[in-house]
Amino acid sequence: MVWNRSPARFDALEKAIASGPRSATWASTAAEVIDRCDVTFAMLSTPAAIKSVFHAGGALNAIAPGKALVDCSTLTTDDMRHTAAAVHARGGRFLEAPVSGSKVPAETGTLIFLCAGERALYDGVAPALDAMGKRAFFLGDEVGNGTKMKLIVNQIMGTTLAALAEGIALSEAIGISVNDLLEVLYVLSVSLLIGPVVAVLDVCWVVDAPTTANNVPTYFFIPEIRA
């Protein structure tokens, strides 16, 4: 069962899975998903979206004893703990599982889940995490640890991206081909620990194109670094 704030997104999902053995049912509200499913995976884009759907929107009112919520959003630690407390207050189970990865890893099932909370729930949803990602980490029973790890990773990626932008600007200013720079960085990545640079290149750079691939919009990324 699936719900999205943008109903048109369901059409794309339905087409994507049409050739497989599974099907999806559209729910009219987020609360309906929680009400009809034992485990609900949520991934909303911002803390404001979480507050709108879960709290002001009343979705968490559908939590009942034994029902589980796995929140894959990237929030602040306070937001994640607030959601966990609301779920626990209604007798539910909670796991935070923010993801490292953008549009392409989501489409190819290669996300990385950074989890914390109830270990038994983590173990129970492990097959689903394996289906959606290439690796899942359990970072302890303290809700917020997954978010902390995600924000650390994003800080490293953001710093790397800023350094890469400086290097590209310098290359252009002194007449060095940017494509040559990128090729050198790719070659160096074999022997040097600059994996984050290569990861950023894969996500953000289109060689010989005037614009970058918009897989990680800066209006999501910058607030996460500041957090």
DSSP symbols for the chain:
-B--SSTHHHHHHHHHHTTSS----B-SSHHHHHHH-SEEEE--SSHHHHIIIIIIT-GGGG--TT-EEEE-----HHHHHHHHHHHHHTT-EEEE--EE--HHHHHHT-EEEEEEE-HHHHHHHHHHHHHHEEEEEE--SSTTHHHHHHHHHHHHHHHHHHHHHHHHHHHHHTT--HHHHHHHHHHHTTTSS-HHHHHHHHHH--TT-SS---SS-HHHHHHHHH-
pLDDT digits (tens, 9 = 90+) for 81-107: 999 999 999 999 999 999 988 778 888
Cβ neighbours for 194, distance < 8 A, ≥ 6 positions apart: 185, 188
* Structural domains for the chain: 8-141 (3.40.50.720), 149-226 (no CATH)
Separation of CA 173 from chain center: 36
* Amino acid identity, position 200: V
The answer to whether residue 199 scores a pLDDT higher than 70 is no
Supply the pLDDT for residue 210: 44
DSSP labels, 58-83: -GGGG--TT-EEEE-----HHHHHHH
Does the structure show a pLDDT above 50 at 206? no
Q: What is the per-residue pLDDT for 52?
A: 92
Across 44-57, average pLDDT: 89
d(CA 159, CA 197) in angstroms, rounded, equals 10
Task: Give the pTM.
Answer: 0.83
Q: Is 150 a catalytic residue?
A: yes
Catalytic residue among 51, 103, 148, 150: 150
